Amino acid sequence: MSGRATTSRASDPDGDHDADAVGDDHADAVGDESASRDAVTAESVHISSDIPEPTVTRLATYLHVLRSFSERGVLVASSVQLATAAGVNSSILRKDFTHVGANGVRGVGYDVGRLTARIKLALHTDSTHTVALAGAGRLGRALLEHAGFGRGFRIAAMFDADPRLIGTIIDDGGPTVAPLTAIVDVCAGRDAEPIEIGVIATADPDAQTACDAFVEAGVRQLLNVTPTTLRTESDVVVRQVDLALELQVLAFNASRSRGRRTVMGEETVTA
């Protein structure tokens, strides 16, 4: 099997292109993401300054999909291919792309590298954001390994309440784990490089304490991966990721699908 990068062709009639698209001669196909980013920033890119929150969430999903395409050597992808991989309707995807200035026409797919660069600009992940992680246990370590830190995010500080973890370095080149009680002093004292995002992955009883400390230190963007419902000030944005809740939703969907199959099979269901 050849190791050269392949080009994904738009086989559907809804394949789109604009300045980011690649025609039959592939003259604009760019396999290197950094070169594509430079080309995009050099253009007059029309990116909406007021993107709806649901669209922001989907753009983050598209970015993940585009990166996976790029890793497989795909240079061009149609709207249907992207929408299928992202689990959305292709018409919704095309509407979302208007917020990043990628309005397409029929016939050819989007250049993966250049579209990636546009979405990174819109999500402000073309620059590095500093993150503080409260919780250096198993959940915190899993986040370090799998959450994509290094792609526009850098862990600048880590905290934990476990004396066995305090003073250790979890990740090579990463920060030394400080006590959970030091969040305010450490985060508030970084005038040259302030903490922009706080991630809470502590034990459940410590989650609200970590939240309060981040807020006191001036951090206004929090990601909570504990099941604890946090109480915060009105100007603090909290994104809640509750894996148990997500599993419950999936279990409900699975049960509903099973019930539909039972009805279609004309089996009798008694209450």
Q: Are residues 143 and 220 in the same domain?
A: yes
Amino acid (1-letter code) at residue 108 = V
- Three-class secondary structure of residue 237 per DSSP: strand
> In this structure, is residue 265 part of a structural domain?
no
Q: What are phi and psi of 77, to 5 degrees?
A: -140, 145
Q: Tell me which of 4 and 185 has the higher pLDDT.
A: 185
Percent of the chain with pLDDT over 70: 73
- Taking Cα atoms as reference points, which of 31, 34, 12, 27 lies closest to residue 104? 12
pLDDT for 143 equals: 83
Q: Are residues 37 and 105 in the same domain?
A: yes
Count of domains for the chain = 2
* Distance (Å) of CA 23 to CA 102, 247, 261: 15, 43, 45
The distance of Cα 152 from the centroid of its chain, to the nearest Å, equals 10
Assess whether pLDDT exceeds 70 at residue 4.
no
Domain limits at 210? Answer: 129-240
pLDDT digits (tens, 9 = 90+) for 58-88: 998 998 899 899 999 998 999 999 999 999 9
pLDDT for 45 equals: 52
pLDDT for 124 equals: 79
Q: Per-residue confidence at 30, pLDDT binned at 50, 70, 90?
A: very low
Q: Tell me which of 80 and 103 has the higher pLDDT.
A: 80
129-164: buried (b, 16+ CB within 10 Å) or exposed (e) per residue?
ebbbbbbbeebbeebbeebebeeebebbbbbbbbee
Here the CATH number for the domain that contains residue 226 is 3.40.50.720
Q: Per-residue confidence at 172, pLDDT binned at 50, 70, 90?
A: confident
Sort residue 198 into left (φ over 0), alpha (ψ -120 to 50) or beta.
beta
Examine the fold and report which residue of 123, 150, 175 is the final residue of a domain before the chain moves on.
Answer: 123
Contact 222, 236 (CB under 8 A): yes
Range 17-25 average pLDDT: 44
pLDDT for 268 equals: 46
Contact 77, 110 (CB under 8 A): yes
Range 120-145 average pLDDT: 86
Range 124-147 average pLDDT: 84
Q: Are residues 119 and 180 in the same domain?
A: no
**Cα–Cα distance measured from residue 95 to residue 88, given in angstroms and rounded to the nearest whole number:** 11
pLDDT for 31 equals: 39
Assess whether pLDDT exceeds 70 at residue 8.
no
pLDDT for 195 equals: 93
- Three-class secondary structure of residue 218 per DSSP: coil
pLDDT for 11 equals: 43
Q: Are residues 75 and 150 in the same domain?
A: no
> In this structure, is residue 62 part of a structural domain?
yes
Average pLDDT, rounded, for the chain: 79
Amino acid (1-letter code) at residue 186 = V
pLDDT for 142 equals: 84
Least confident of 12-16, 80-84, 146-150: 12-16
Q: Are residues 148 and 110 in the same domain?
A: no
